[in-house]
């Protein structure tokens, strides 16, 4: 959510930003919110003046009684009552207008960074850099579910009976590999100076609306029936929520946190849920990075975050590339975003395994995450990035470490988490 003062003073900048995000249907909201904001400020000014008048009359009443001027005191009391009724109406109008302004401001997209490429959707995202050489072996690589099944590592049929499509049983060495990746990611981030955290797996609605847009919430979140609780779609939601309505000491910033959690997603939309795989699913686990920092440090942290993911995947012998998200592919709260994509030898192309986002002060403004420093109070900047999200990540891992006989090599970095195992063999 952008600052209403900024919108008031820069309406054309806000409108151009909306055009850059190809959301022209929201253009009229700028003029609408400016008119409502003007009416709100006028109403507030009237209410403030009325309060001052009422207080003045209230003080005079006591003085009149002291002088024995009963008739004048009664007249003033009637005026106070009259002003009180008028003030009540103004306060109700003020609250109504405030809610309308807030509702519109919640859907006007955040101002994107000037470096973001302009494009309509993810087909116009821009490749930035490749890390590692993409490799295609001289043998056919099966679909990832087949690789897992040959290693007795997955049972999708039983999961479908128990929970439906979008769920899975991971078994044996594949299940162990899944846990090993998460444990390694935890230690990898701790070694880089991040504080490890396990957050709540459910959050209240005020946190949900503080960290994402309404469209994202509808497409992602599972609601707990009869309770003001939602299952998290990713741990950054509860991690950012940790700072809701706080005033933080500038000298203690930045907060650099890495969190583990399961994640639950409806995955509504055209892409749908996979029936025979684990690429797009309702339930998965994730190691995340979250940073709360001063505004002038958020660009530096943004680069640090996506580089952490690149470095992590390279230690597992997986080639990756970074992709700059274009304006039309950015969620409304984001200032800038870079996806990290892993190489798929089977498909001979890259696919997304992580997303790094700078939200500026949008989440902080919604959640009232403030900082106090030598120059006064201001809103913090928040950032997040995926370290790793298995089992999707296992697709890239298995394809890039597969041998012709169906066995899978374990990179050196993961072996301590696999009991020293160097290879996963077929039918073990």
Catalytic residue positions? 265, 280, 352, 355, 392
* DSSP codes of every residue in 265-324: ----STT---SS-SSS-SEEEEEEEEEEE-GGGHHHHHHHHHHHHHHHHHTTT--EEEEE
Could you say which DSSP state residue 118 is in?
A: P
E strands in 138-276: 154-155, 169-170, 195-197, 202-203, 222-223, 230-231, 246-249, 255-264
Q: Tokens for 200?
A: 């709540």
The SS3 assignment for 397 reads helix
Rounded Cα gap, residues 239 and 367, in angstroms:
12
Is the peptide bond preceding residue 416 cis, with omega within 30 degrees of 0? no
- Other CB atoms closer than 10 Å to residue 95's CB: what's the count? 12
Q: Which helix (H) or strand (E) holds 129?
A: strand 126-131
Q: Which residues contact 318 (CB under 8 A, 6 or more apart)?
A: 132, 342, 343, 396, 397, 400
């Amino acid at each position: 959510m952008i600052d209403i003062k900024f919108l008031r003073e820069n309406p054309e900048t806000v409108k151009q930003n909306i055009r850059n995000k190809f959301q022209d249907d929201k253009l009229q909201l700028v003029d609408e919110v400016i008119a409502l904001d003007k009416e709100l400020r006028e109403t507030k000014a009237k209410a403030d003046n009325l309060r001052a008048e009422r207080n003045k009359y209230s003080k005079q009443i006591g003085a009149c009684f002291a002088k024995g001027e009963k008739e004048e005191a009664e007249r003033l009391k009637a005026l106070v009552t009259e002003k009180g009724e008028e003030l009540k109406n103004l306060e109700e109008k003020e609250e109504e207008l405030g809610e309308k302004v807030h509702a519109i401001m919640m859907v006007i997209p955040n101002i994107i960074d000037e470096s973001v490429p302009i494009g309509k959707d993810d087909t116009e995202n821009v490749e930035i850099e490749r890390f590692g050489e993409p490799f295609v072996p001289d043998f056919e690589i099966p679909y990832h579910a087949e690789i897992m099944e040959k290693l007795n590592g997955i049972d999708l049929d039983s999961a479908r009976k128990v929970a439906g499509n979008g769920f899975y049983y991971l078994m044996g060495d594949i299940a162990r590999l899944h846990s090993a990746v998460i444990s390694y990611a935890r230690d990898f981030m701790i070694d880089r100076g991040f504080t490890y955290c396990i957050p709540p797996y459910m959050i209240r609605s005020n946190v949900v609306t503080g960290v994402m847009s309404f469209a994202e919430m509808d497409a992602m979140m599972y609601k707990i029936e009869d309770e003001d609780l939602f299952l998290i779609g990713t741990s950054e939601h509860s991690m950012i929520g940790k700072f809701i309505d706080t005033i933080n000491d500038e000298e203690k910033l930045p907060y650099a946190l890495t969190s583990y959690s399961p994640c639950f997603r409806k995955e509504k939309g055209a892409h749908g849920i996979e029936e025979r795989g684990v690429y797009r699913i309702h339930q998965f686990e994730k190691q995340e990075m979250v940073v709360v920092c001063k505004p002038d440090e958020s660009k530096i942290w943004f680069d640090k975050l996506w580089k952490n993911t690149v470095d992590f995947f390279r230690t597992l012998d997986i080639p990756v590339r970074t992709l700059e998200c274009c304006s039309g592919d950015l969620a409304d709260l984001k200032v800038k975003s870079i996806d990290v994509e892993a190489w798929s030898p089977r498909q001979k192309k890259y696919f997304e395994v992580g997303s790094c986002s700078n939200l500026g002060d949008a989440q902080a403004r919604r959640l009232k995450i403030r900082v106090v420093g030598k120059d006064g109070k201001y809103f913090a900047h928040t950032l997040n990035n995926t370290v790793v999200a298995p089992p999707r990540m296992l697709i890239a891992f298995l394809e890039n470490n597969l041998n012709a006989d169906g066995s899978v090599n374990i990179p050196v970095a993961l072996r301590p988490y696999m009991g020293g195992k160097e290879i996963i063999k077929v039918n073990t």
